[in-house]
């Protein structure tokens, strides 16, 4: 049985191996692939983010954060980041988390959601975000240093929540 709910900092022990495995491949996130546990904790459980996790039979198999994309006059736009345990990818967990995040963002009063750095070669993410209503609104040329492919474009994706 899967369930998505808020995660606590105490659950970092369970979330960290997922974060580490996702980031280590250097092909989806702009965190250093060899980031340490403490630095990663600060990045995920930071004061402006709400952390959620998806649980499969009680065990954490994925996580996402929801936060304002910008402070002040840009804070009506939400931003979110998603990570699914590599062993569990492709089973609908990312779709479930993103759908959940859109509902949470609406509930929190955000007017839109924006992703700032979707790696153009990340076809699973790009395809999923498009299916869930996001459009590419900008291309950042060679903005991502892909561990295997070198410099590749990154995409800004957006959708209104009304
Ligand atoms: C991206 C990510 C969150 C998606 O979660 P997931 O649980 O693997 O994905 P899901 O199983 O929910 O959905 C995958 C969808 O993408 C589709 N998909 C999978 N691989 C694809 C590909 N190569 N090209 C296009 N679509 C693809 C699937 O068909 C599925 O669509 P459906 O729901 O209509 O059947 C997850 O793979 C992940 O954590 N990746 C590493 C980190 C990452 O890239 N995060 C996002 C950064 S923008």
Cα of 72 from ligand 1 centre, angstroms: 32
**CB distance 100 to ligand 1 below 6 Å:** no
Give 90 Cα–ligand 1 centroid separation in angstroms.
6
CA of 128 to the centre of ligand 1 (A): 6
Mean pLDDT of the chain: 98
Examine the pLDDT at 66 and tell me if it is beyond 90: yes
Q: Other C-beta atoms within 10 Å of 88: how many?
A: 16
- Full-model pTM: 0.96
- Find the CATH number of the domain harbouring 109: 3.40.630.30
Domain of residue 70 covers 2-160
Q: Which tokens go with 150?
A: 């070198």
Question: Taking the CA of residue 135 as centre, how many other CA atoms within 13 Å lie in the half-sphere pointing to its CB?
Answer: 5
Express as a percent the part of the chain with pLDDT over 90.
99
Residue 57 has pLDDT above 90, yes or no: yes
- In a 3-state reduction of DSSP, which class is residue 60? strand
List the helix and strand counts (H, then E) for the chain: 4, 7
Beta carbon of 21 within 6 Å of any ligand 1 atom: no
Given ligand 1 and candidates 88, 101, 128, 134, which is best to mutate, with the most ligand atoms within 8 Å of its CB?
Answer: 128
SS3 state at 71: coil
Distance CA 76, CA 46 (A): 19
- C-beta of residue 111 within 8 angstroms of C-beta of residue 101: no
Position 123 scores a pLDDT of 98
pLDDT (0 to 100) of residue 162: 86
User: For the chain, how many structural domains are there in total?
Assistant: 1
The string of pLDDT tens digits covering residues 104-156 is 999 999 999 999 999 999 999 999 999 999 999 999 999 999 999 999 999 99
> For 10, what's the count of Cα atoms within 13 Å in the CB-facing half-sphere?
0
């Amino acid at each position: 049985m899967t369930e998505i709910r808020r995660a606590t900092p105490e659950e970092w022990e369970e979330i960290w191996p997922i974060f580490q495995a996702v980031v280590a491949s250097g092909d989806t996130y702009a965190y250093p692939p060899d980031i340490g546990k403490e630095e990663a904790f600060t990045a995920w459980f930071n004061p402006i983010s709400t952390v959620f996790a998806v649980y499969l039979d009680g065990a954490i198999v994925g996580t996402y954060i929801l936060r304002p994309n910008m402070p002040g006059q840009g804070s009506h736009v939400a931003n979110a980041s998603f990570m699914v345990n590599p062993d569990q990818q492709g089973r609908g967990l990312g779709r479930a988390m993103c759908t959940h995040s859109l509902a949470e963002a609406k509930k929190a009063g955000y007017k839109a959601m924006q992703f700032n750095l979707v790696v153009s070669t990340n076809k699973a993410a790009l395809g999923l975000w498009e299916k869930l209503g996001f459009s590419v609104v900008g291309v950042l040329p060679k903005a991502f240093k892909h561990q295997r492919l070198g410099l590749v474009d990154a995409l800004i994706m957006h959708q209104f929540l009304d």
